[in-house]
Structure 1
Amino acid sequence: MTKAILLLLMALTMPMVVNAKNIKTPKVYIFGFSASFQDSTIYMTDVQEITNVWIESKTKFLLGREHYSRQLNEYLTAQQHPNRVCLVIFALKREDAEKKYLKMRKQYTSKSKRKYDMKYLNTNDFKFSTVNLDIEEEPKK
């Protein structure tokens, strides 16, 4: 009896493992940002629509973010701008992505931050491409 209670208590106190589900979403809106510790030039891409991407359902995080950041980094390196820190910001709705874009742009173009040289990359200059992650979607119940 004591062993059964002890096993029950151990099972209840062990952390529960919750597997987050990955879901494929028809589209997200994304933009890129790049800065360097070696110069004051900052690059920002336009807000772009990307189709067939994977989202982690619980946190709503874009899966494969590092691949999208690498796309921007490789483009800038090819344009003779190596050693840059690149990141991507995304949203499920265009309006939300544009709000984030404007907020970030304002941070680096305000009068107090004029020490940065902001360069914009439109979709003719650079376009993100969908990353194939080959993730199996969780079965719907």
Structure 2
Amino acid sequence: MAAGTANVQAQNVKVPHAYMFGFVASFNDSTVYFTNIQKVDSVWVTKKKQMLAGRHNYSYQLREFFANQRNLPNRTCVVVANVDRKKVEKKYTKMKNKYLVKSKKPYDVRNVAETDFKFTAVDMSND
């Protein structure tokens, strides 16, 4: 290792639960999808900023669901999460309004029922 460099990674801590929702879109059509806000138990967050650790794993869960269960591959999937439900609700409302109310072009906004898709906790203890 060169002098002055170190492998510094954010430390992750396990929390009892976090709240999250997913947003799915494609550049090829005007249909966007939102999952409901879901409570996910035993999630990992970064110690310093309490951000969801391994967010890409949760996005991948959603992307795989759309590719395999809905036959809609190549979707852009975003996961928004926080340990504070009110903060997630605020972001959810803001994003949904962007596509339902404030948009100049019409979007077909659809909900994904929790009975169809549910996030599962990702073990980040080794990362």
- How would you bin the TM-score normalised by the shorter chain? 0.7 to 0.9
**Structure 2 equivalent of residue 112 of structure 1:** 103
Percent same amino acid at aligned positions?
42
Please say if residues 36 and 113 of structure 2, whose CA atoms lie closer than 8 Å, have aligned partners that are also in contact.
yes
In structure 2, list runs of 5 or more residues that go unmatched.
none
Q: Distance in 2 between matches of 1:114 and 1:17?
A: 46
CA offset at residue 22 of structure 1? 1.5
TM normalised by structure 2 equals: 0.87
Over 2 Å off, 4+ runs: 14-21, 111-114, 133-136
Residue aligned with 1:118, SS: strand
- The offset of 1:101, in angstroms, is 0.5
Structure 2 partner of 1:49: 39
* 1:64 CA drift (Å): 1.0
Partner letter of residue 66 of structure 2?
Answer: L
Larger radius of gyration: 1
Question: Contact between 1:36 and 1:85, CA under 8 Å: does it hold in 2?
Answer: yes
- Per the alignment, do residues 64 and 19 of structure 1 end up closer, same or farther by CA in structure 2, a change over 3 Å counting? closer
**What's the counterpart of residue 84 of structure 2?**
93
The two structures have a TM-score, normalised by structure 1, of: 0.79
Deviation at 1:134, TM superposition (A): 2.9
Alpha-carbon deviation of 1:89? 0.1
Distance 1:119 1:17, change over 3 A: same
1:66 and 2:62 equivalent? Answer: no
Could you tell me which amino acid in structure 2 is paired with residue 87 of structure 1?
V
**For this pair of structures, how many residues does the alignment match?**
124
Q: Which of the residues 121, 124, 127 maps onto 1:130?
A: 121
Distance 2:112 2:35 in 1: 4
Q: Find the aligned partners of 2:9 and 2:119 in 1 and give their Cα distance.
A: 29
What is the aligned-residue RMSD (CA, Å)? 2.0
Aligned to 1:87, the other structure's residue is in SS state: strand
Unaligned runs of 5+ in 1: 1-13, 137-141
